[in-house]
Structure 1
């Protein structure tokens, strides 16, 4: 048997023995998944948070200006931009199963409770981060690597923080 026939037979045997290749979800499937996951309202919530943050960082610009950042057109653009990621990481069968889950009572509860759950989890994470940072800064100060002001101590006659 020649080498070409052996390669063809080997490839056929590998395909026959292995699992069926998963098909890529269609754009319509991914859009349906995003719809049942209520992605557009999640974008709206993100937009509100971002607007408040930008209002604090740029007080000279009214907060209302930023509230249009993820408008209806922006939501559509963002959804369209995200579709390839879902197509890359999930098969059509998996997306169908996710759609089924998110349409279930438990899936709908997850969608409804996720914003509050994530907000609470983010607060917990921020509190933990503040405590952890304070502990690590205290340890660095104790070791002489940071001054009482939380900055690197001056080196050699220079009063500027080290490394700057």
Structure 2
């Protein structure tokens, strides 16, 4: 019976340890504070503006002003609420407090203020790299005969000679 008591005690310790680990999850209020100091609502505005520009190009028949309200005040609240569980899943309450402290610091605030411009510049660099990389790879494929001069697979329907109109083979 001593082994049974020991196993029960060990099981109880495991349950208690698991319970304390669950207690370390950040509260919704902590995550909301973190999102505020990270200026997440402003990031939603940037996302909204990018999406509105894209949709205006794709659907010119719809006024651009229509898309400007895609992420409105209600949308910001809904999106924030939807994101909270992800933060709670990946960060402990202690880590969220550390992040809040960092983002409230001068360096954290500089990161928040400079991140949109930094990401825009990085995206441009990534796009430029991607265009060059694609061109280089297409050139290699063309040189190796895998692609034709128009960047298509040789012998595809676009390159083949049309069949005779009577439907019979050549």
With the shorter chain as reference, the TM-score category is 0.7 to 0.9
Moved more, 4-13 or 89-98: 4-13
- Give the secondary structure class of the aligned counterpart of 2:21: coil
Measure, in 1, the Cα distance between the counterparts of 2:52 and 2:16. Answer: 54
- 2:101 matched to which residue of 1? 100
Q: For residue 151 of structure 2, what is the aligned residue in structure 1? A: 150
State the partner residue of 1:24.
25
- Counterparts of 1:16 and 1:77 in 2: how far apart (Å)? 34
Separation in 2, partners of 1:155, 1:62: 40
Q: Unpaired runs of 5+ in structure 1? A: none
Q: Residues 91-143 of structure 1, C-alpha deviation per residue, up to 9 Å, x if partnerless? A: 00000000000000100000000000000000000000000001011111111
Alignment of 1:1-164 (within 5 A): 1-11=1-11, 21=21, 23-154=24-155, 159=160
Q: Take 2:93 and 2:129, find their aligned partners in 1: how far apart are those partners?
A: 39
TM-score by length of 1: 0.87
Larger Rg: 2
Instruction: Name the SS of the counterpart of 1:147 in structure 2.
Output: coil
Q: Tell me: CA distance 1:44–1:15, structure 2 relative to 1, closer, same or farther (3 Å).
A: same
Deviation of 1:2 after TM superposition, in Å, equals 4.5
Aligned length: 158
Query: 2:15 and 2:74 mapped to 1: Cα distance?
Result: 44
Q: How far is the alpha carbon of 1:50 from its aligned partner?
A: 0.9
